[in-house]
Amino acid sequence: MSQENIVEVWNKVLGILENNISESTLNTWIVPLEPQYYDENSFVVHTGQALAPSIIKKNHYFELTSALKSVLGREVEFKIIFDEELAKNFSKKAAKRAAQLEKEETKHTNGTIKYQYDSLTQMQSSNLNLKYKFENFVVGSNNKLAYVAAQTVAQHPGTKYNPLYIYGGPGLGKTHIMQAIGHYIIKNRPNMKVLFITAEEFVNDVVNALARGDEKTKKMNNFRKKYREVDVLLIDDIQLIAGKTRTEEEVFNTFNVLHGSGKQIVITSDRTPKEIPSLSDRLVSRFEWGLMADIQVPDIETRMAILQNLAKDSSIEVPNNIIEFLATVYSNNIRELEGAFNRVTAYASINDVPLDIENVKRIINYSEEEKTYTFDGIVDEVAGYYNISPKELKGTGRSSKVAEARQVAIYLCRELTKQSFPDIGKFFDKKHTTILYSYDKVKAELKTNHLLSYTINSLLKKIEA
């Protein structure tokens, strides 16, 4: 069951309810509900009205579930969840909607009301995650440039930085800030069509469109239509198209069509265009046309601010020393920082234990010795394993043994310390593109080369021991 047609399902439900719930009740309580998702067993809507869940459950639950049953062909549980975000916008929205309905009513002299779902339909087709908005993005010196650029693009889509290219390490907020642009535009420009996709989905779409079969031309046309009829295209993790020639070509064509007609393009990646191996020069240069903004690892204040932001919405009180402790331990990946925070608060509230440092250490499996990997330590271990000297490993020798040891050491330095490619490059006295190449090579080879993965695992055990 796909979620894409949830708006259609919901519209049909409203169509049925129009016949058996009074118009004022419908407009006051049911129309403002925002369908979120549904599956085999349930249908979930959000509301910004605190009273809606109890009132609807008490008075209209039967009509709603019956209508859903006749549309979906099965019984599902109807869940109404109060959403504070929506509540903040609700009064503004309600006023707008009322005005809109009034207009519609006078237009349709026969009295039928046509509901307006512009922004909801926009939302459903855009592929965006509700969590990733500007409102809950914490700005620090590490992401200031990307943030300001993203705001500018959101306010002036297609006219300022085009494309906006945001890059940085994993878990640092690239997807979040890119989607925030989408949300902002949907909210403020109801006529614009926004589409968020990961480069991986784009690759799949190209592959499907090119698959052999009778409908090949039609599929290709649909593909092109999907991507070329948008006003704002958000492509996440573009590095994943590297080396996929046909996909690159479609990205190139899509880029030209959109850019040429003043449509906004936003791209994220874990590296700059030049650092994407084998990316064609014409794409590299296009990606550099607009603005390139990087996101760095956040400093301790920003990490604490992010946790404080999460703590605000948490059901339990999180003491400041715990926030500081977590922010110190998780220093280079906000996804991991958030994950640890969620584990800690969930554990504490389910098991009703106090949030002190001892408990927190236990919950996150913290040990003092962890996370003190150094480049030198890693190189020593790897050199020992291959029976060469650290100096040889870091040198320029090209024998296959030395070259493999060097690549493995580079791979482990990146994986274990999460330092940047240029920093690793400085240590090895190599260009950072060389470091990148080695890292990618080992990573790719690990998928098929069992001996190599055995080597890496043995080394990891030694280094972590």
Q: Examine residue 264 and tell whether it contacts Mg ion (CB under 5 A).
A: no
Cβ of residue 174: shortest distance to ligand ADP, in angstroms? 3
CB of 172 to Mg ion, least distance (A): 9
Comparing CB distances to ligand ADP, the nearer of 36 and 198 is 198
The nearer residue to ligand ADP, 306 or 378, going by C-beta atoms, is: 306
Query: Which lies closer to ligand ADP via its Cβ, residue 137 or residue 227?
Result: 137
Site string for Mg ion, 166-185 (x = CB under 5 A): ---------x----------
In the complex, least distance from residue 456 CB atom to ligand ADP, rounded to whole angstroms? 23
Which CB contacts under 8 angstroms, 24+ apart, belong to 90-98? 90/32, 90/48, 90/49, 93/32, 93/48, 94/32, 97/31, 97/32, 98/27
Give the residue nearest to ligand ADP (CB). 173
Query: Shortest gap between Cβ of 352 and ligand ADP (angstroms)?
Result: 26
Residues in contact with Mg ion, counted by CB under 5 A, come to a total of 1
Q: Which residues here bind ligand ADP, judged by CB under 6 A? A: 132, 136-138, 143, 170-176, 306, 334-335, 338
**Among Mg ion, ligand ADP, none, what does residue 311 contact (CB within 5–8 Å per kind)?**
none
Instruction: Name the minimum Å distance from CB 327 to ligand ADP.
Output: 13
Nearer Cβ to Mg ion (175/296): 175
* Closer Cβ to ligand ADP, 122 or 175, answer by number: 175
CB within 8 A of 62, min separation 6: which ones?
none
| Partner from Mg ion, ligand ADP, none contacting 170, C-beta within 5 to 8 A by type | ligand ADP
**With respect to Mg ion, which residue has the nearer C-beta, 170 or 422?**
170
Q: Catalog residues that contact Mg ion under the rule CB under 5 A.
A: 175
